[in-house]
């Protein structure tokens, strides 16, 4: 990935450009010295390095995305600096696989099942996509999810068109991370196609023709990171060719109430019929506003506490004065 930046005027002092959250890695930082003759900066980062993410949102289209910071100080990030989100889109067009069938003398005739394979569609030739939509609390329509807030409704949509009449999609093995691997990314959907944690993602529902799958849940975020990167495997199944380890076929709708091993489908899914699709969304943190509200609510309690303290002080003073007068009258009566 190569970025060219054209400044309004030549650079008058030192500056740097670095990949966000990667400033400690020298290979992800470019430094520039003052130059009175040139106003052009070039920043180059190899693909798939410095935390750059590959987003496969379509069966034949993908993108590399990252965030960079243009800083005018060698150590600090100030209000003069700027951050940019950069996405480079690519298309990967592949020729459909060829299935040659020959019948002749000395050649065994292909079976009917193999003739059926000619009409089957692979993920590379199918039109498969993954979309992420959202609806906030004040809206009635779903929109493309780029930046959302905690609590907004998210809807995942996986769809494949141009499939054979006996083919359907099966969504499984979904994970989420904050745009970089955590080493043990939280699973959302297991290999049986069932939710692991419904906070992370809801039950997957399929259309009547099996070409579209959807899931809804409320937006959330990792504690220290603003982005969510969802990755899901989509397998194109034909009746009876996707099986669980207990021998039963993957059929729609799924029966998630039936207990199976969480990794039971890996061996029985046709690997060349699967593709991993991904989507990313930025989630804004609104909890700080609620914390301010709670702070205000605590300040409203103080007036109710102060009167009780004043009353206690008054009672204590009254008791002390009463004690003094009592001692005085007792002393006076004995003197008389």
> Tokens 């959907």 map to which residue?
189
Structure tokens at 212: 């579209």
**Mind giving me the DSSP string for 68-120?**
EEEESSSS---TT-EEEEEEEEEE---PPPP-----BTTBPPPPHHHHHGGG-
Task: Decide: pTM greater than 0.95.
Answer: no
DSSP 8-state secondary structure symbol assigned to residue 308: H
3-state secondary structure of 64: strand
Per-residue pLDDT of the chain (336 residues; tens, 9 = 90+): 666 666 667 777 778 888 887 888 888 888 888 877 776 777 788 777 887 877 887 777 778 888 888 887 777 777 778 888 788 877 765 555 444 443 333 333 334 444 344 455 555 567 889 999 998 877 778 899 889 999 999 999 999 988 888 899 999 999 999 877 777 889 999 988 999 988 999 999 999 999 999 999 999 998 888 889 999 999 998 877 787 767 788 888 888 887 555 544 444 555 557 888 999 998 987 654 444 454 444 444 344 444 556 566 667 777 777 777 677 666 666 665
> For the stretch 122-141, what's the b/e string if a residue is b when 16 or more beta carbons lie within 10 angstroms of its beta carbon?
bbbbbebbbbbbbbeeeeee
Nearest to 272 by CA among 231, 303, 237: 237
Nearest to 242 by CA among 170, 164, 174: 170
Structure tokens at 254: 């799924």
Question: In degrees, to the nearest 5, what angle opens at C-alpha 79 toward C-alphas 76 and 84?
Answer: 90
């Amino acid at each position: 990935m190569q970025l060219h930046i054209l400044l309004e005027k030549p650079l008058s002092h030192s500056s740097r450009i670095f990949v966000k959250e990667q400033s400690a890695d020298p290979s992800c930082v470019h430094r520039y010295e003052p130059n009175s003759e040139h106003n052009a900066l070039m920043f180059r980062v190899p693909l798939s390095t410095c935390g750059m993410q590959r987003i496969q949102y379509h069966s034949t289209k993908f993108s590399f995305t990252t965030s960079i910071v243009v800083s005018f100080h060698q150590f600090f990030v100030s209000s003069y600096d700027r951050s940019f989100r950069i996405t480079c889109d690519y298309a990967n067009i592949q020729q459909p696989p060829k299935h040659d069938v020959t019948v002749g003398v000395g050649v065994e005739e292909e079976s009917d099942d193999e003739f059926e394979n000619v009409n089957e569609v692979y993920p590379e030739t199918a039109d498969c996509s993954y979309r992420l939509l959202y609806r906030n609390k004040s809206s009635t329509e779903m929109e493309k999810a780029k930046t959302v807030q905690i609590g907004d409704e998210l809807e995942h949509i996986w769809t494949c068109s141009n499939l054979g009449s006996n083919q359907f999609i099966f969504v499984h093995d979904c994970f989420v991370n904050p745009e970089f691997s955590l080493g043990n990314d939280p699973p959302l959907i297991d290999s049986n196609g069932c939710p692991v944690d419904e906070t992370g993602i809801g039950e997957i529902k399929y259309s009547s023709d099996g070409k579209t799958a959807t899931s809804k849940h409320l937006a959330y975020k990792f504690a220290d990171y603003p982005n969510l990167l969802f990755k899901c495997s989509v397998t194109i199944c034909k009746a009876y060719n996707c099986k669980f380890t207990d021998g039963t076929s993957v059929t729609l709708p799924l029966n998630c109430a039936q207990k199976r091993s969480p990794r039971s489908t890996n061996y029985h899914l046709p690997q060349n019929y699967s593709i991993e699709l991904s989507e990313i969304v930025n989630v804004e943190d609104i909890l700080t506003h609620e914390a301010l509200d709670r702070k205000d609510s605590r300040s409203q309690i103080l007036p109710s506490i102060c009167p009780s303290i004043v009353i206690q002080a008054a009672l204590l003073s009254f008791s002390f004065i009463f004690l003094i007068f009592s001692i005085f009258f007792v002393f006076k009566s004995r003197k008389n």
